[in-house]
């Protein structure tokens, strides 16, 4: 529907896109998720952090509808459009596939649509480059371009910065924020790097089979549940972040208001 997304800029709380309610999921005989609650509102950036095997991808796949919960519910707003970038996508390096051609698969796109999508992710000029020759950051941007082509209300990114170094990750998160500003899409992403993703996230959910804690990035970073899982061993970056931000806490009251941290 043309024009549908034109007005959706910035964060607009209260307009709920997804509600996950007391959801439990088994993978094989393993209880991957227990009693997970999560909401996503129009235009917000929500980041899921958690150790390997903590159910992050499982949660995303349930929200997309690719997996069914064993109990609990996932409610999606009627007509919700989701753009999804999976954790891994390998492309045969021997295949002479340009970025433009990749963006035109499986749905044929016009040159203009392709150019617009590439521009929106800061990847202008990459259209004629072979996919196999792109750097990690460029490759992720092209995946992001493909995910926004259908003008989703919600973009779901499973570890979008896999394989990038820290500056590359920080650049990509900045780009993701820009996409949110330009398109108004909400963004749900998985990251291992809370210290890098912090400034780009409105809310963080720390997962370990259940929701350990959630809230603003600052709240989650200082939660005992988060520290028990990750320690403070983020190469000093977490400590640095806290150092930079601690003294602002009382000046800007928004950190505290509606956050909770506790085992569920």
Residue ranges in contact with ligand ATP by CB under 6 A: 27-28, 30, 32, 50, 52-58
Q: How far is the CB of 4 from ligand ATP (least distance, A)?
A: 31
Residue owning tokens 């035109």: 104
Nearer to ligand ATP, 59 or 172 (CB): 59
Which residues is 45 bridged to in the sheet? 187
Which among 38, 33, 131, 36 is positioned nearest to 89, based on CA atoms? 131
Alpha helices for 10-97 (secondary structure H): 56-64
- Contact 179/108 with Cβ under 8 angstroms? no
For residues 192 and 161, give the distance between their C-alpha atoms in angstroms, rounded to a whole number. 9
**Closest CB to ligand ATP among 41 and 159?**
159
**Crossing angle (nearest 10°) for helices 111-120 and 166-183:** 120
Q: How far is the CB of 117 from ligand ATP (least distance, A)?
A: 27
154 vs 191: CA distance, rounded Å: 17
Closer by beta carbon to ligand ATP, 118 or else 157 = 157
Nearer CB in complex with ligand ATP: 58/140: 58
> Which of 14-29 are b and which e, b meaning 16 or more Cβ less than 10 Å from the residue's Cβ?
eeebbebeebbbeeee
CA distance 122 to 47: 22
Minimum gap (Å) between residue 47 Cβ and ligand ATP: 13
Closer to ligand ATP by Cβ: residue 54 or 138: 54
CB of 61 to ligand ATP, least distance (A): 8
Residue with Cβ nearer ligand ATP (61 or 203) = 61
Give me the least distance between CB of 110 and ligand ATP, in Å please.
36
Task: Assess contact for 23 and 62: CB atoms under 8 A.
Answer: yes
């Amino acid at each position: 529907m043309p024009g549908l997304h034109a007005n959706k800029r910035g964060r607009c709380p209260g307009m709920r896109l997804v509600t996950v309610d007391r959801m439990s999921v088994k993978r094989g005989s393993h209880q991957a998720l227990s009693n997970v609650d999560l909401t996503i509102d129009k235009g917000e950036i929500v980041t899921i952090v958690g150790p390997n095997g903590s159910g992050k991808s499982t949660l995303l796949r349930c929200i997309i509808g690719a997996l069914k919960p064993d109990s609990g519910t996932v409610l999606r707003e009627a007509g919700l459009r989701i753009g999804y970038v999976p954790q891994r996508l390998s492309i045969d390096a021997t295949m002479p596939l340009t970025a433009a051609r990749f963006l035109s698969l499986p749905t044929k796109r016009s040159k203009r649509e392709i150019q617009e999508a590439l521009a929106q992710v800061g990847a202008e000029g990459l259209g004629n480059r072979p996919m196999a020759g792109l750097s990690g950051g460029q490759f992720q941007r092209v995946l992001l371009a493909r995910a926004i082509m259908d003008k989703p209300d919600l973009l779901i990114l499973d570890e979008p910065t896999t394989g990038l170094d820290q500056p590359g990750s920080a650049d990509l998160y900045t780009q993701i924020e820009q996409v949110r500003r330009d398109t108004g899409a909400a963004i749900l992403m998985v990251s291992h790097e809370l210290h890098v993703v912090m400034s780009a996230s409105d809310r963080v959910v720390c997962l370990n089979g259940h929701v350990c804690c959630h809230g603003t990035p600052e709240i989650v970073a200082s939660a005992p549940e988060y520290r028990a899982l990750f320690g403070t061993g983020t190469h000093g970056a977490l400590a640095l972040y806290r150092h930079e931000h601690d003294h602002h806490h009382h000046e800007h009251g928004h950190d505290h208001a509606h956050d909770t941290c506790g085992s569920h």
